[in-house]
């Protein structure tokens, strides 16, 4: 069996033809009409009023915080278990990320712990729709933020196409942020998008992504901004990838369901109970005690697997070694992602599961 990557991008003749056609048109590569089309396709898909596409899903978080007026000294509540971009986005602006633990069942931010972390300096909450899931108390989180005038940023980097009560994840906060990096359900190599219903926030985003300019091409600067702009070369890929969303959602769910069936009988593993009506997982996750040995064992058999994120609070970047978040600490030590790309075949899943069975027998 050839090496099975933990993730890999998927594209075909449609993306290749779109890139060739675009380049042959003598276009300028920089962001322009194709980026606007890509934004429209995301806004229409998620049923959002506005969408702004930028370089990646980290700058979309930074730009979102800036657009909402988050500044140095403000506190921003973030989950301890997430990709580092969530908390770094606040920290890079001089705001203080305040970590809270996650729910064991969903690995999303725990509502009660979030409430206890609020102080008079709290200005925003970044809720991560981890792996296309939402919290058991998602409704409480949304209404708590609204009632307490806290901005809610949905970091939906891993959740494009997943839903809650019939609406797409990413649409429940003041802004929703997506990533199109390689492991995501669609990819443009690097890329990200912010969606919002607010014209004011959208206007700020347009300025922030373009040096704070009053409008494109102007040399009048209304605010501090940066260069977070995308390229049309990537946009033509993104437009083709968006067309594949329905089939990818279906395939992601099928992959996870097949893993569920084949791994269910292995007592040493703990599986997550996903609600596949709503969730199209990015990754297939398992928890086990011999995680590092299992990763090595799979690697020897040409299977790529990846460890869960570390508890962010105790990473050297933050250094809060005197506080503990038991759930994040436990799952970080036990969790791994198995190969989950949309290119994965049934035969590969069967091989991976057979190797895991062998490991435990
Ligand atoms: C939850 C989460 N937030 C933010 C990001 C950052 O996105 P990007 O890699 O596009 O900068 C990622 C990427 O993996 C992510 O998983």
Q: Which pLDDT tens digit goes with each residue over 88-116?
A: 999 999 999 999 999 999 999 999 999 99
Answer yes or no: is the C-beta of 87 below 6 A from any ligand 1 atom.
no
Is ligand 1 within 6 A of the CB of residue 187? no
Could you tell me if residue 7 is inside a domain? no
In whole angstroms, what is the distance from residue 22 CA to residue 24 CA? 5
Average pLDDT over residues 38-42: 98
Q: Would you give the distance in Å from CA 6 to the centre of its chain?
A: 17
Ligand 1 centroid vs 180 CA: distance in angstroms? Answer: 8
For residue 206, the tally of other CB atoms under 10 A from its CB is 18
Last residue in a domain, options 243, 259, 284 = 243
Residue 38, pLDDT above cutoff 90: yes
CATH number, domain with residue 191: 3.40.640.10
Beta-ladder partners of 140? none
Q: Are strands 151-155 and 175-179 parallel, antiparallel or unpaired?
A: parallel
Which of 209, 228, 243 is the endpoint of a domain? 243
Q: Does residue 340 form part of some domain? A: yes
Average pLDDT, the chain: 97
Residue holding tokens 């570390």? 310
Region for 110 from its dihedrals, namely left if φ exceeds 0, alpha if ψ lies in -120 to 50, beta otherwise:
beta
Q: Confidence class of residue 130 from pLDDT cuts 50, 70 and 90?
A: very high
- For 240-285, the pLDDT digits (tens) are 999 999 999 999 999 999 999 999 999 999 999 999 999 999 999 9
Q: Whose CA is nearest to atom 14 of ligand 1?
A: 83
The whole domain housing 286 covers: 245-360
Residue 54 reports pLDDT greater than 90: yes
| 339, 206: one domain | no
Residue 65: the pLDDT is 98
Percent of the chain with pLDDT over 90: 99
Are the CB atoms for 309 and 84 separated by under 8 Å? yes
State if residue 64 touches ligand 1 by the CB under 6 angstroms criterion.
no
Residue 227 carries which DSSP code?
A: B
- Structure confidence at residue 1 as a pLDDT band (50, 70, 90): confident
Query: Could you tell me if residue 317 is inside a domain?
Result: yes
Q: What is the pLDDT of residue 109?
A: 98
Residue 157 Cβ < 6 Å to ligand 1: yes
* pLDDT band with cut points at 50, 70 and 90 for residue 153: very high
Mark which of 214, 243, 272 sits at the end of a domain.
243
pLDDT at 47 over 90: yes
Q: Which two tokens stand for residue 185?
A: 């359900």
How far, in Å, from the CA of 268 to the mean position of ligand 1?
Answer: 30
H-only helix segments in 209-345 = 232-243, 245-263, 291-300, 326-334
Please report whether residue 273 resides in a domain.
Answer: yes
Asked whether residue 148 is assigned to any structural domain, the reply reads yes
State the distance from the centre of ligand 1 to the C-alpha of 41, rounded, in angstroms. 20
Q: What is the pLDDT of residues 188-243, one digit of tens each?
A: 999 999 999 999 999 999 999 999 999 999 999 999 999 999 999 999 999 999 99
Find the mean pLDDT for residues 312-329: 96
User: Would you say residue 280 lies in a domain?
Assistant: yes
Between the CA of 298 and the centroid of ligand 1 the distance, in Å, is: 26
Contact status, residue 181 vs residue 155, Cβ threshold 8 Å: no
* Global confidence as pTM: 0.98
């Amino acid at each position: 069996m050839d090496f099975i990557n933990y993730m890999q991008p998927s594209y075909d003749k449609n993306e290749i033809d779109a890139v060739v056609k675009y380049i042959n048109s003598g276009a300028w590569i920089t962001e322009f009409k194709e980026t606007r089309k890509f934004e429209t396709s995301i806004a229409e898909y998620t049923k959002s009023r506005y969408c702004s596409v930028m370089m990646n899903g980290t700058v979309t978080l930074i730009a979102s915080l800036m657009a909402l007026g988050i500044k140095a000294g403000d506190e921003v509540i973030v989950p301890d278990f997430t990709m580092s971009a969530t908390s770094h986005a606040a920290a890079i602006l001089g705001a203080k990320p305040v970590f809270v633990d996650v729910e064991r069942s969903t690995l999303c931010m725990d509502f009660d712990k979030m409430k206890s972390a609020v102080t008079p300096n709290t200005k925003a909450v970044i809720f991560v729709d981890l792996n296309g899931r939402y919290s058991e108390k998602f409704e409480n989180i949304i209404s708590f933020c609204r009632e307490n005038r806290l901005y809610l940023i949905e970091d939906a980097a891993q959740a494009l196409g997943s839903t809650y009560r019939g609406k797409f994840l990413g649409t429940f906060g003041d802004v929703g942020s997506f990533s199109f990096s390689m492991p995501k359900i669609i990819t443009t190599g690097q890329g990200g998008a912010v969606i919002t219903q607010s014209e004011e926030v959208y206007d700020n985003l347009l300025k922030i992504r373009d040096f704070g300019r009053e409008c494109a091409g102007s040399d009048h600067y209304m605010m501090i901004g940066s260069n977070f702009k995308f390229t049309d070369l990537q946009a033509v890929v993104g437009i083709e990838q968006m067309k594949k969303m329905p089939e990818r959602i279906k395939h992601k769910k099928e992959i996870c369901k097949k893993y569920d069936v084949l791994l269910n009988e292995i007592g040493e593993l703990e599986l997550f109970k996903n609600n596949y009506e709503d969730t199209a997982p990015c990754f297939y996750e398992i928890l086990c005690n011999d995680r590092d040995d299992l990763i090595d064992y799979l690697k020897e058999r040409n299977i790529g697997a990846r460890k869960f994120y570390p508890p962010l609070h105790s990473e050297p970047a933050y250094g809060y070694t005197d506080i503990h978040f038991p759930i994040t600490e436990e799952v970080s030590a036990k969790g791994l992602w198995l190969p989950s790309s949309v290119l994965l075949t049934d035969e590969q899943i069967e091989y991976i599961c057979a190797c895991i069975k062998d490991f435990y027998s």
